[in-house]
């Protein structure tokens, strides 16, 4: 009898974590490494949020709470959805989990049966397909390439839907491309979904607040009220409020689904950290100036990185609408040899050689389901980004 489960054999470890580990190892050997792999803001959590957490500890808010969130936080989340998205939810329609990741995972665990398909636009956040596999479902990736600015078209969505489709995952702005759908683009997709009443929509709005220029964020249940009863709108404080380590995510949807997700959570982790819930409460109800300041910094960095990468020979870098990632295309580098003598046969070799020869760590595109590309996370200082991009320029100039 095998000790490890068949379930484990279905999934692979996160490639983004693998890149981060390799970069850490090289740095420990004394190499000068710049990590552009991590998906988290470099800012510290705002002081008012940290203070709220300290107050919660001192007030003894250190016990178990209701499994899927304290009432005050659920009320604040209802207000957030009304204020920012024009969506009306009651507290019974809200669930709070240990990071956005847990709420998505709960939803899959609560709904997927063997054979159920989940449509995942590619390139995708690395965890979607593996979470679907862990829950026993079948991921159906649909590639949306650079020719449509990494956005799925209505025709592609229509063609991917089968009688077995249970969920369509929508993530805008996207990890790993930063692509954000306009209202018109999203309406094109929701019109398709209205013709297929058996398909549920999981909208992962994690990067809602990180949008640039005059781009306006939108989410499916807001654009098409007809989808409200079969949409799970997911969000969290991790990226917007620089709170990745606090582990608070939340979602809103039909009561029966929210209850089922709570049942899964009650037999796995129980409540998310009580202290973190009070911190998230402050994030959602306290001053919101941080969001605009954050946005301005990220927009400046995006412009720097896009401009410098487009000056690198063989790289084409589209301008994303949001998040803190760019996803440049490196088709023109494939088949070339690096200064160190490696032949670039694919984007994994490119990223490996880039790390070995210049010390810059990026994540290769195959990990996200679209090649040949790589992902840069520009959640680091302007000076570090400028140095990293000039090393990438030099690396590309040396390709023959
Ligand atoms: C698209 C997307 N959704 C969800 C998450 C999970 O966020 P959390 O850290 O709150 O679990 C991430 C984190 O990288 C993400 O990029």
pLDDT along the chain (400 residues), means of 10: 89 81 90 91 95 98 98 98 98 98 98 98 96 96 96 98 98 98 98 98 98 97 98 97 97 98 98 98 96 95 98 97 98 97 96 96 96 97 97 98
CA dist 68 and 98 (Å) reads 9
CA dist 205 and 237 (Å) reads 11
**pLDDT score at 36:** 93
Whether omega for the bond prior to residue 175 falls within 30 degrees of 0, making it cis, is no
Query: Tokens standing for 231?
Result: 């949409």
**Contact (Cβ atoms closer than 8 angstroms) between residue 373 and residue 328:** yes
Atom of ligand 1 nearest to the CA of 101: 11
Top mutation candidate among 14, 100, 130, 178 for ligand 1, by most atoms within 8 Å of CB:
100
| CB atoms near residue 2 (< 10 Å) | 7
**pLDDT score at 220:** 98
**pLDDT score at 154:** 98
**Contact (Cβ atoms closer than 8 angstroms) between residue 134 and residue 11:** yes
**pLDDT score at 77:** 98
Which strand ranges, in their side-by-side order, compose the sheet holding 138-143?
94-97, 249-252, 231-236, 200-204, 165-171, 117-122, 138-143
Q: Is 103 in the pocket of ligand 1 (CB under 6 A)?
A: no
CA dist 391 and 397 (Å) reads 10
CA of 118 to the centre of ligand 1 (A): 18
**pLDDT score at 360:** 97
CA of 23 to the centre of ligand 1 (A): 21
Q: Is 39 in the pocket of ligand 1 (CB under 6 A)?
A: yes
CA of 341 to the centre of ligand 1 (A): 37
Half-sphere exposure of 233 (CA within 13 A, CB side): 28
Query: Tokens standing for 360?
Result: 């810059």
Q: Is 175 in the pocket of ligand 1 (CB under 6 A)?
A: yes
CA dist 332 and 336 (Å) reads 8
**Contact (Cβ atoms closer than 8 angstroms) between residue 19 and residue 37:** yes
Atom of ligand 1 nearest to the CA of 247: 10
CA of 345 to the centre of ligand 1 (A): 30
Q: What are phi and psi of 223, to 5 degrees?
A: -75, -35
> Residue with the nearest Cα to atom 3 of ligand 1?
206
**Contact (Cβ atoms closer than 8 angstroms) between residue 72 and residue 285:** no
Query: Tokens standing for 217?
Result: 């964020």
Top mutation candidate among 175, 180, 181, 379 for ligand 1, by most atoms within 8 Å of CB:
175
**pLDDT score at 170:** 98
Q: What are phi and psi of 189, to 5 degrees?
A: -75, -40
Atom of ligand 1 nearest to the CA of 171: 1
Q: Is 236 in the pocket of ligand 1 (CB under 6 A)?
A: yes
Top mutation candidate among 20, 38, 99 for ligand 1, by most atoms within 8 Å of CB:
99
**pLDDT score at 362:** 96
97-130 in b/e burial notation, b at 16+ Cβ within 10 A?
Answer: bbbbbbbbbbbbbbbbeeebbbbbbbbbbbbbbb
Q: Is 204 in the pocket of ligand 1 (CB under 6 A)?
A: yes
Rg (CA), the chain: 21
Q: Is 101 in the pocket of ligand 1 (CB under 6 A)?
A: yes
329 in helix, strand or coil? Answer: strand
**pLDDT score at 44:** 95
CA dist 392 and 79 (Å) reads 44
**pLDDT score at 21:** 86
Beta strands in the chain (DSSP E): 34-35, 94-97, 117-122, 138-143, 165-171, 200-204, 231-236, 249-252, 325-326, 360-361, 363-364, 374-377
CA of 83 to the centre of ligand 1 (A): 22
CA of 227 to the centre of ligand 1 (A): 23
Atom of ligand 1 nearest to the CA of 40: 14
Sign of the Cα pseudo-torsion (255, 112, 126, 20, in order): positive
Half-sphere exposure of 115 (CA within 13 A, CB side): 3
184 in helix, strand or coil? Answer: helix
What CA–CA distances, in Å, run from 368 to 20, 122, 267? Answer: 16, 7, 31
| CB atoms near residue 341 (< 10 Å) | 8
211 in helix, strand or coil? Answer: strand
CA of 100 to the centre of ligand 1 (A): 6
Q: Is 206 in the pocket of ligand 1 (CB under 6 A)?
A: yes
Q: Is 244 in the pocket of ligand 1 (CB under 6 A)?
A: yes
**pLDDT score at 306:** 98
381-400 in b/e burial notation, b at 16+ Cβ within 10 A?
Answer: eeeebeebbebbbebbeebe
């Amino acid at each position: 009898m095998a000790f490890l489960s068949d379930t484990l054999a279905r999934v692979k470890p996160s490639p983004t974590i693998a890149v981060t580990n390799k970069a850490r190892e090289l740095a420990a050997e004394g190499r000068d490494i710049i990590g552009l792999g991590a998906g988290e803001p470099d800012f510290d959590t705002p002081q008012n949020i940290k203070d709220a957490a300290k107050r919660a500890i001192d007030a003894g808010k250190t016990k178990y709470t209701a499994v899927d969130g304290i009432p005050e936080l659920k009320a604040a989340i209802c207000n957030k959805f009304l204020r920012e998205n024009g969506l009306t939810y009651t507290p019974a329609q809200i669930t709070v989990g240990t990071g956005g990741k847990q709420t998505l995972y709960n939803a899959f665990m609560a709904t997927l049966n063997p054979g159920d398909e989940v449509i995942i636009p590619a390139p995708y956040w690395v965890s979607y397909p593996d979470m679907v596999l862990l829950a026993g479902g079948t991921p159906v990736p649909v590639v949306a390439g650079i020719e449509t600015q990494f956005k799925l078209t209505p025709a592609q969505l229509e063609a991917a839907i089968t009688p077995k489709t249970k969920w369509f995952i929508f993530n805008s702005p996207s990890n790993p491309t930063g692509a954000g759908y306009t209202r018109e683009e999203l309406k094109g997709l929701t019109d398709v979904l209205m013709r297929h009443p058996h398909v549920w929509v999981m909208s992962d709005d994690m990067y809602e607040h990180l949008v640039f220029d005059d781009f306006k964020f939108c989410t499916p249940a807001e654009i098409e009220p007809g989808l409200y009863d079969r949409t799970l709108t997911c969000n969290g404080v991790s990226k917007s409020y620089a709170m990745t380590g606090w582990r608070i995510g939340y979602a809103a949807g039909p009561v029966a689904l929210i209850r089922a997700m709570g049942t899964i959570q009650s037999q796995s982790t129980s409540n998310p950290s009580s202290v973190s819930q009070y911190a998230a409460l402050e994030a959602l109800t306290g001053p919101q100036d941080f969001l605009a300041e954050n946005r301005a910094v990220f927009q400046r960095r995006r412009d720097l990185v896009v401009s410098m990468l487009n000056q690198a020979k063989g790289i084409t870098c589209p301008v994303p609408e949001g998040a803190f990632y760019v996803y440049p295309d490196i088709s023109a580098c494939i088949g070339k040899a690096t200064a160190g003598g490696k032949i670039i046969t694919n984007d994994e070799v490119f990223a490996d050689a880039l790390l070995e020869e210049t010390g810059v760590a990026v994540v290769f595109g195959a990990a996200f389901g679209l090649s040949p590309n790589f992902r840069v996370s520009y959640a680091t200082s302007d000076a570090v980004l400028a140095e990293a991009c000039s090393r990438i320029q030099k690396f590309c100039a040396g390709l023959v």
